[in-house]
Amino acid sequence: MKPTVGVLPLWDEDKNSIWMLPGYMDGLLSAGALPVILPFSTENSDLERIFEICDGFLFTGGQDVSPALYNEISIDGINCICEKRDILEIEIFRRAFALDKPILGICRGIQLINVAMGGTLYQDLHLQYPSDIMHRQSPPYDIPSHTVTIEERCPLFNCLGINSADVNSSHHQAIKNLAPGLKAMAFSADGIIEAVYSPDRTFLWAVQWHPERLYNKDENNKKIFNAFVRSML
């Protein structure tokens, strides 16, 4: 039976509506999983049922994580906050972590996971960490924007067998203080953490770039989805 992956929903503030980018769903489907978009419910009975159904969870990209969650006041560079996403995702993450359900975080996902585990973020790289690296590329988003170096002997290195990779990049925030319990797996040339994992869990990986926009043309990003789904078999 295919593993079922709960996909954290995207939220469109203007339309007041859940939405989804096909790459997240298709990337999981192509790796052999059945993705399902989760509802915005934090009722205990709903969550208990969700955790019976789902073998793993994908934390998607999107709005900025509220700086209040890491005890900071928002600076001017902060974009749209989505409180209902923060609440849902922190709750799902805590339960998934406690139950050792496989977790993959992408973009906002790496940031949310770092904050949920006690880390902090650069609220806006442009204001707080200026560099020449193009972390916020212009379209098209399925071509590489910068290189990352991959730490040796980490799970990402073991999975890909390479110590650098070209990645796309659509973020204006990033990990500042890495949460205790997470280890960095990849860095951009300006020193930003671009991938993390938990050594204490079966599969808890997160990346700052967008495999869902690259997996169908880049074998390395396909391998990330494959490794996530394989961990649930």
Q: Which residues are catalytic?
A: 107, 210, 212
Cα dihedral 62, 170, 208, 30 in deg (nearest 10): 80
- Shortest Å, Cβ 206 to Mn ion: 13
Stretch that binds Mn ion, among 27-35, 61-69, 169-177, 216-224 (CB under 5 A): 169-177
Q: How many residues in the shown chain lie near Mn ion by CB under 5 A?
A: 2
CA-CA distance, 104 to 110, in Å (whole number)? 8
Collapsing DSSP states into helix, strand and coil, what is residue 23? helix
* 60 versus 231: smaller Cβ distance to Mn ion: 60
* 101 versus 135: smaller Cβ distance to Mn ion: 135
- Give the bridge partners for 195, in sequence order: 186, 207
Stretch that binds Mn ion, among 52-60, 94-102, 131-139, 222-230 (CB under 5 A): 131-139
Stretch that binds Mn ion, among 102-110, 111-119, 127-135, 217-225 (CB under 5 A): 127-135
- Shortest Å, Cβ 64 to Mn ion: 15
Should residue 135 be labelled a site residue for Mn ion when binding is judged by CB under 5 A? Answer: yes
Helices 83-98 and 44-53 cross at an angle (nearest 10°) of: 60
Should residue 176 be labelled a site residue for Mn ion when binding is judged by CB under 5 A? Answer: no
User: What's the one-letter identity of residue 179?
Assistant: A
* 120 versus 137: smaller Cβ distance to Mn ion: 137
- Do residues 169 and 104 touch, judged by C-beta distance below 8 A? no
Site string for Mn ion, 41-80 (x = CB under 5 A): ----------------------------------------
The vertex-197 CA angle with 231 and 69, nearest 5°, equals 120
Cα dihedral 149, 60, 27, 93 in deg (nearest 10): 90
- Shortest Å, Cβ 157 to Mn ion: 18
Of all residues in this chain, which one has the CB nearest to Mn ion in the complex?
169
Should residue 169 be labelled a site residue for Mn ion when binding is judged by CB under 5 A? Answer: yes
Burial class (CB in 10 A: 0-12, 13-18, 19+), 140: exposed
Which residues here bind Mn ion, judged by CB under 5 A?
135, 169
